[in-house]
Amino acid sequence: MKVPRTQAEPAQAAPTPAAPTSAASASAAPTPGTAAPAAPARAFRGRTVRAVGGLSVRVDVRAFTVVVLLLVAALAASVVLIGTGDFPISAGDVLKTLFGTGSASQEFIVEQLRLPRVLVGLLVGAALGVGGALFQTISRNPLGSPDVLGLGQGSTAGALVMIVLFSGSPEQVTVGALVGGLVTGLAIYLLAWKRGVHGYRLVLVGIGVSAIVTAVNGYLITKADLVDATRAIVWMTGSLNGRDWEQVWPLLWLCAVLVPLVLGNARALRMLEMGDDVAYALGVRVERTRLLLMVAAVLLTASATAAAGPVGFVALTAPQLARRLTRSPGPNLVPSMCMGATLLVVADWASQKVFGADQVPVGVVTGVLGGVYLLWLLVTERKAGRI
Amino acid sequence: MLVDSPTEPSAETAPAPPRRRAVRAAGLVLSLAVLVLVALASIAVGAKELSLEQVWHGLFQDSGTYGDVVVGERLSRTVLGLLVGAALGLAGAVLQALTRNPLADPGLLGINAGASAAVVTAITFFGVTSLNGYVWFAFAGAAVVGVLVFLLGGSRGATPVRLALAGTAISAALYGYLQAVMITDEAALGTMRFWTVGSLASATSDIIWQVLPFLVAGTVLALALARPLNAMAMGDDTARALGAHLNRTRALSMAAATVLCGAATAACGPIVFVGLMVPHVVRSFTGPDLRWILPYATVLSPVLLLGADVVGRMVARPAELQVGIVTAILGGPVFIFLVRRRRTAQL
C-alpha cells in the first residue's frame, strides 16, 4: 500500500483539499517533512498558555477565534430562527422569553415549539460536523464522509423499512433509522477488518455497502404507494419540522458523552493522519484508537440522522469549511462541530425565509448551499493557486 | 488521501513478458465468449418462459406471433444492455484513471445529477411524459454538467482533486433542486422514483438508434486514450517529461466519459455501480496498464449488466427487478470480497 507513505510527506499531500495549508507552506518550502520547522512565521500562531503548577496548553489563536466567531454566529442564527415562522417574534422578545420574562403566548411558542427544533438543529449539525471530520480523517479522503460511506444510506434503509413496510409512526421511524445506521456502521467495520482497518479498504468497503443499501432503498421506494413514497422522500431529504423535546434529550446526552471522548483522542487522531506506521512509532495504539473513534463517529452520525434524516452535505462540507477558516492542518474537530451547527441552523432559517414556513425541508438548502460553497471554494482557491 | 496518491511506475514501464501478454489476450477472448453466452441467455430467458424453438423462430423467422414479439423486445433490451454496459465500464475506467481516485464514477463528476435534474425538469416544467422525450433532456443535462465540471475544475490546469470537487459541488446543488421538485410535485416523484433506479425494461430500437452514434464515438475515443492516460498515471511532471499532452488528454478523457455516461444514462437511467466496480475488478488481475484495463472493462461490464438483468427477470416472475437494483445487490458483495481478498491494485 502506497498511501501511508505518501501521506507522511506534506509535499505529496499538498494538492488535496484536505490539506490546503500544507499546500501553501509546502510550496514555500518544498522539502518533504519540513512543513512545521521550515515555516517559523506560521509556528508563531500557536500560543502556549502556562498555568500554575507546570500545566501548559498550546492554543492556536486563529482556530480559537474561529470557534468563538462560529459559536456567536450559531447562537445569533438560533435566536433569529426562533423568531421566524408564521408568528414572527422579534429577536429582543425571543431573548426576553428565553430568560423567562416574555408573555405567556410567546413563552409557549418559543419553549414548546421552536426552541426544541433549534436545539435539535444545533445538535444534529454539531454531531454531523464532528462525525464528518472523524470519518474524513480516518479514511484520509476529503470525500470519505459518512454519506459517501453508506451510513446515511443505512439509516435511510432502516427508516424506509418502517415507513414502507409497516407504515410506522415517527417514533418507530426514528428507531428504525438508528438501528439501520448502527448496523451499517458495524457491517462496514467488520467487512473492512483484516488484521486492522486500513483507510483505503474502509472507503472501498464503504462504497460497496453503500451501493447495496442504496439499491435496497430504491427498491423499497418503487414498491411503496405514492403517499408513503412522498413521506419517504421528505425523510430522505432531512427535515427539522415538528421536532420536539423528545428528540433533544437523547441527542444531548449522547453528545455530552461522546464529544469529550472524541476530543480526548484528538491528539492520537492527528498522529493517525500521518499514516499507521508513523503513528505507531509515535506511540499511538492505532487500531484501538481507530475503533474507538469510528464507534463514536457512527453513533454520532446515526443518532443525528435518526433525529433529522440524512441531511445532506453537512458532514462533507463542515470539516472542509472549518479547515479553510482555521487554516490549520489536522482534523479540526471543534471548529468542524461549531461549523456544522452553524450551517444547519442557518440553512433551516434560509429555507423558512425563502420558501415559507415548513414548505421545503432543510436538506434541500444544505445541498444547494453545500454545492455553491464548494464551487466558490474552487474558484477562490484556484485564484490563490492552492489546489 | 487516495485522491492524489501517485502510482508506482515500476509495473508498467517494463513491457510485460510475452507469456503474460498471451495469457491476458486469452483471458480477453474468454471474457468475450462469456459475454456471448450471457447475451444469448438474455434473449432466451425472461419473465415469460419460451421454448428454445420459439426463441429461434423469433430471431430468424419473425412472423409476428406472440413469442416473436417477446423475443424482439428481449433482443433490443439485450443490445441496449451490451452498449450501455460497455459504455459505463469504459467511462468508469477512464474517469478513475483521469481523476486518480478509486471513488470516481459517473456520479462523482455530476453526470448522473445533471441527467436526473434535466429529466425532472422535463417532467415538471415541460410536461414531457414519454421516455423518448427524456432521452434528449437527460443527454443534454449530462453534457452541460460535464462541460461545466471541466470548466470549473480549471479547464487548462484541471487537477484530479479539482475535477472531483467540482463534480461533487454541482451534484450537491442539483440534487437539492431534484429533491425540492420531487417533494412538491407528486407526478414527478411518481416517474422519477422508477427512473432513478435504472432499468433496461423500456428499451426500444428507437432509443438504441438515438444513443448508438454517441456510444460508438465515445468508445473509440476512450479506447484510444489508453496510452496517454498510462503516462499520466505517473504524475503530471513525469507525464509531461514523457511527452504526454496533459490538457489535451484531460479534455478528451472528460469528453469521452461525458458522452458515454450521458448517452447510457439517457437510455436507461443512472446505473451507478457498474462503472465503479468493474474497473476495480479488472485492475485486480491486469495490473495498472490501461491498454488492458480498458478492453477488459468494455467486455466485462456488459457481462455484469446483462447477467444482472437476466437474474432480475427470473427472481420476481411475473414481475421483474430493475437492473440497477440487481447490479448493486449482486455486485456489491463481489466487490467487497475482492477488496478484502487482496491488496487492491492502487491507481
Q: Could you tell me which chain A residue has the CA closest to the CA of B341?
A: A194
Report d(CA B210, CA A100) in Å as an integer.
68
Cell 484541471, located at residue: B158
pTM above 0.80, yes or no: no
Decide if B335 and A363 are in contact by the 8 Å CB cutoff: no
Nearest in space to B59 (alpha carbons), one of B76, B46, B47: B76
Q: What is the DSSP letter of A193?
A: B
Cα of B275 to nearest chain A Cα, Å = 12
Number of A:B CB contacts under 8 A? 210
Q: Which residue type does A221 have?
A: I
In chain B, what are the domain boundaries? 2-341
Quote the mean pLDDT of chain A: 78
User: Does residue B53 register a pLDDT over 50?
Assistant: yes
Question: Above 0.85 for ipTM, yes or no?
Answer: no
B346–A365: do the CB atoms touch at under 8 Å?
A: no
In 3D, which of B176, B149, B142, B153 has the Cα closest to residue A371? Answer: B176
Model pLDDT, residue B1: 34
| Per-residue model confidence (pLDDT) at position B17 | 65
List residues bridging with A47 in a β-sheet.
A59
- Short-list A7, A304, A314, A298, CA closest to A141: A7
Out of A3, A371, A382, the one facing B176 most closely (by C-beta) is A371
Q: What is the pLDDT of residue B228?
A: 87
Rounded to an integer, what is the distance from CA A261 to the centroid of its chain? 16
**Coil, strand or helix at A49:** strand
Cell of B185: 410535485
Between CA B262 and CA B215 the distance in angstroms is 9
Contact in structure between B138 and B262 (CB atoms under 8 Å):
yes
Interface of A with B in 214-233 (CB under 8 A): 214-216, 218-219, 221-222, 226, 229-230, 233
β partners of residue A59: A47
DSSP class of A57:
E
Task: Measure CB to CB from residue A367 to each of B176, B190, B276 and give the nearest one.
Answer: B176
Contacts of residue A226 in chain B, CB cutoff 8 Å? 186, 189-190
Kindly state the cell numbers that stand for B24: 491476458
B87: confidence class by pLDDT, cuts 50, 70, 90: very high
Single-letter amino acid code for the residue at A155 = S
**Best to test chain A binding among B8, B103, B179 (most A CBs inside 10 Å):** B179
Q: Write out pLDDT tens, residues A361-385.
A: 888 888 887 777 777 767 776 666 5
- At A214-248, the pLDDT tens digits run 888 888 888 888 888 888 888 888 888 878 788 88
Instruction: State the burial class of residue A106 (Cβ atoms within 10 Å of its Cβ: 0-12, 13-18, 19+).
Output: middle
At B108 the pLDDT is: 67
Tell me the Ramachandran region of residue A230: left when phi exceeds 0, alpha when psi lies from -120 to 50, beta otherwise.
Answer: alpha
Tell whether the torsion through CA atoms of B40, A218, B88 and B9 is positive or negative. Answer: negative
Question: Residue B263: pLDDT above 80?
Answer: yes
Mutation for B interface: A378, A380, A382, A383, most B CBs within 10 A: A378
Q: How confident is the model at residue A106 (pLDDT cuts 50, 70, 90)?
A: confident
**What pLDDT score was predicted for residue A129?**
92
Judging contacts by C-beta atoms under 8 Å, the chain A residues touching residue B171 are 371
**In this structure, which amino acid lies at residue B277?**
M
Contacts of A2 in chain B (CB under 8 A): 5-8, 346
The one-letter amino acid code at B27 reads G
Element (DSSP H or E) covering residue A335? helix A333-355
Here the cell at position B120 is 425532472
Closest partner residue to A234 (CB to CB) among B173, B183, B329 is B183
Q: Rounded to an integer, what distance in angstroms lies between the CA atom of residue B168 and that of residue A222?
A: 26
Q: What is the pLDDT of residue B306?
A: 92
Residue A60, H or E segment = strand A56-60
Strands A46-50 and A56-60: what pairing? antiparallel
Among A348, A372, A370, CA closest to A361: A348
How close A92 gets to chain B, by Cα (Å)? 33
Q: Alpha-carbon distance A81 to A94, whole Å?
A: 10
Q: CA–CA separation, B192 vs B208, rounded Å?
A: 21
Measured between alpha carbons, how far is residue A126 from residues A166, A270, A341 in Å?
31, 20, 5
Of chain A, the percentage scoring pLDDT greater than 70 comes to 83
- Distance of residue B220 Cα from the nearest chain A Cα, in angstroms: 29
Alpha carbons B49 and A35: distance in angstroms, whole number: 68
Q: Any CB–CB contact under 8 A between A152 and chain B?
A: no
- Domain B2-341: CATH architecture, name and number where available: Orthogonal Bundle (1.10)
Nearest neighbour of B6 by CB, restricted to A6, A201, A222: A6
Query: What's the pLDDT tens digit per position in A14-49?
Result: 333 433 333 333 333 333 333 334 344 444 456 777
What crossing angle do the helices spanning B131-152 and B246-268 adopt, rounded to 10°? 160
Min Cα–Cα distance to chain B from A164, Å: 14
d(CA A94, CA A178): 33
Chain A residues 254-313 within an 8 A CB cutoff of chain B = 312-313
How far apart CA A369 and CA A358 sit, in angstroms, is 18
For A41, the grid coordinates are 512565521
Q: Are B123 and B129 in contact (CB under 8 A)?
A: yes
Nearest-CA residue of chain A relative to B312?
Answer: A219
Interface contact B1-A203, CB threshold 8 A: no
Q: How far is CA B230 from the centre of its chain?
A: 20
Instruction: Give pLDDT, residue B16.
Output: 56
Check whether A124 has a pLDDT greater than 90: yes
Cβ contact, residue pair A2, B273, below 8 Å: no
Residue-range domains of chain A with CATH:
3-13+74-383 (1.10.3470.10)
Per residue in B167-212, pLDDT (tens digit) is: 777 887 888 888 888 888 877 887 788 877 888 877 778 888 888 9
Contact call for B172 and A367, based on CB within 8 A: yes
| In the predicted structure, residue B220 carries a pLDDT above the cut 60 | yes
Contact B319, A188 (CB under 8 A): no
